Homo-oligomer: A and B are copies of this chain.
């Protein structure tokens, strides 16, 4: 895996050729999710009602989609359908996807970004297939070794969320990859969360410097060296408890660990929520309490609702791709679309590309600072 694959022409990137109407166009894979196209269309309508500034290209069987769209008045005149018969299922293996995906809604949805007719793509489909097709069709940014999936965690920080990457694009990451994740994560935090100078931490099993795997030491030094030039603050090693914490805004880790942490967090939050509901149903008094506490419990629910932070963003590609949860409901789909629009509006894809290009140039020209200054 090296940078020589990444010399795709700049005019292939998502932003270049979208017609300059000032409106954002989002390309949506209507067929990927567990809940089917009706839920995806409902989510779009949900979003469209509040946000008049975006249009949509929907990919899937026209005969299925047209009646669903016709029922939603907020989508009138804002949806174009691309008739594609095929679907990538959750069970499809990467080899199958490579051979047989040309006529699928997922492929077609990415194609709209590649062709420059949409600013960003949203899909609820198979994560592995979406990442594979995204890399093949949109190509990696020049200088990027491994793309990553950035996900949001509800947290104690003022912005309400922390960014973690990689959430599961690739099961491995060496120190160069982890450095790029830090650069890309910081850029995402600037554009997605509005943090001028994000604090970045490296996920490890202990904050003492002698702990953890050996590659962690190399990554720790590399990220610390590069932080000043990349305008983020590096806080060093952090632990699993810092994912929803306030020690940093961006947490960097490999995709295996990140994916396990993500699903562990979801599992624990769901267990807690279910136990809380049982507690409120336990007795007549607790049922009365649940009525009295209704408003504040709704606020709590909103604070930790995973649907509000639905949307893993693929970083390191020519174009913006948002992966919505496979089991997303309409609220979840709307959140993923909102994120895609927000990133398109902030011109995130170009800013990230510039950031990576600058870091690559620095590494090539200046080399790593080997602390010669200390020897004078």
Contacts and interface: CB of A to CB of B under 8 A. Distances in A.
A132 B64 CA distance: 63
A287 to B, nearest CB: 9
A158 to B, nearest CB: 15
B272 A260 contact: no
Contacts of A264: 240-241, 243, 261, 264-265, 268
Interface in A142-201: 154-156, 168, 171-172
Nearest to A303: B275
B292 A93 contact: no
Interface string A278-300: 11101101101111110111011
The oligomer's copy count stands at 2
A10 interface: no
Interface string A205-224: 11010111100000000000
A264 B243 CA distance: 7
13 contacts: A172-B213, A212-B256, A240-B261, A240-B267, A241-B270, A243-B264, A244-B271, A260-B261, A275-B300, A275-B304, A279-B299, A282-B299, A289-B289
Given A155-B271, A168-B205, A257-B260, 4 more contacts: A203-B260, A264-B265, A269-B272, A271-B304
Give me the 9 closest cross-chain CB pairs, A-B, nearest first: A240-B263, A241-B267, A240-B264, A289-B293, A289-B292, A282-B296, A286-B296, A279-B300, A289-B289
